[in-house]
Amino acid sequence: MSDGLRSIGVPAFDHNERPIAAVSSTWRRHHHRYEADHVRDILQQGAVRLTAAVADHAPHAHGTDGAQDGAQ
C-alpha cells in the first residue's frame, strides 16, 4: 500500500471459472469523486463483461477444436 493512494481490483474468469485477468483502478485518496464501493461496482461490471467475452470465444462455444463454423 502506498500513502495517499487507494486501489481496487476484481477478477475476470475463463469458461472453467479460473481467474485469468483483473480489472483494477488506483486513485489518490484525497481525490475521491466516487466512493470506493461505487468504483468497485463499475470494475465488477467490466469484469463480468470480460468474463462473458472470454466464454463466448472458448473452444466449446465453436466446437471441439475451437474453429468457428466454416473456418478451416
pLDDT at 28: 85
Give the pLDDT of residue 60: 64
24-38 pLDDT, tens digit per residue, is 999 888 776 778 899
Q: How far is CA 44 from the centre of its chain?
A: 7
Q: 1-6: long-range contacts (C-beta < 8 A, 24 or more apart)?
A: 4/28, 4/29, 4/30, 5/29, 6/32, 6/36
Q: Which helix (H) or strand (E) holds 19?
A: strand 19-28
The answer to pTM > 0.85 is no
Q: What angle do CA 13, 17, 18 make, to 5 degrees?
A: 70
Q: Is the confidence at residue 69, as pLDDT, over 60?
A: no
Q: What cell numbers appear for 58 in the block?
A: 472458448
Q: What is the pLDDT of residues 40-65, one digit of tens each?
A: 999 999 999 999 999 888 776 544 44
Question: Above 80 in pLDDT, residue 68?
Answer: no
